[in-house]
Amino acid sequence: MGIGLFIALIGLVKAGFVHENPAPGGGPATRSAPSVQRLLSPQGAPGTVSTTQGRPEAPAPLPGLGPRTRAQIPGSSRQVVVVTGRARDANRSEVVLYSRTPAGWRAGTPWPARNAQKGWTEDHSLGDLRSPIGVFTLTDAGGLLPDPGTRLPYYQDEGFGISGPGLAGESLEGAFDHVIAIDYNRVPGTSPLDLTRPLGEDKGGGIWLHVDHEGPTQGCVSLSEKHMKELLRALDPARNPVIVMGDAQSLQK
């Protein structure tokens, strides 16, 4: 024990910071002082990482995201869906739902996904067959089938019915059984089927998370039906969920 700490302990005794503990059976009381560990760790919370000012450190940033991308995520967001494309021109990607906790960001299980046929772009336009890169809010859901239990506003509508072949010749039937609207060039708080395009028709729209149809999309992100339902049930509008999407290299900027 250093001389400084010894002097501090003596000072506590003189100042009355010791306390008496009744001995079992009514014997003489014992006197004790705060432990050395408590003196050295005044915050006293097991597992708490503190700065020199005694304030908790900020949680580690979301993995795989660079400073420019992280800066676009609202500070109020406590759920972040990260869609990471394999490459700029690839149509395969991975989806992870991150949830903010007092201890930091907790990652969900990674899910395989598909994106647009030609990959990704920072300047999406109608018919370019690329998914838009960016950070977008997630406010509304819907589908041909009934609500599977989401807390998001859910719009069940026959307008989500679709048939015919996809870009790889696969059947599109059932692709829109469940969807989550990505708030790119749309008005939040409306059905995913709403056709309002604030940025203009030439900037495209109707960018959704939806059920995978075993082929690339025209601009959306697709997940298996099982994972779509899991995501719908997990998202909570009270936690201001957003989606961060793009190829891995772009997201690291």
Residues carrying an active site annotation: 210, 220
State how far the alpha carbon of 150 is from the alpha carbons of 53, 96, 142, 143, 181, in Å: 41, 18, 10, 12, 13
d(CA 7, CA 22): 27
CB atoms within 10 A of CB 76: 9
d(CA 179, CA 157): 11
Contacts of 45 (CB under 8 A, 6+ apart): none
Q: Which residues pair with 236 in a beta bridge?
A: none
Under DSSP, the state recorded for 16 is: T
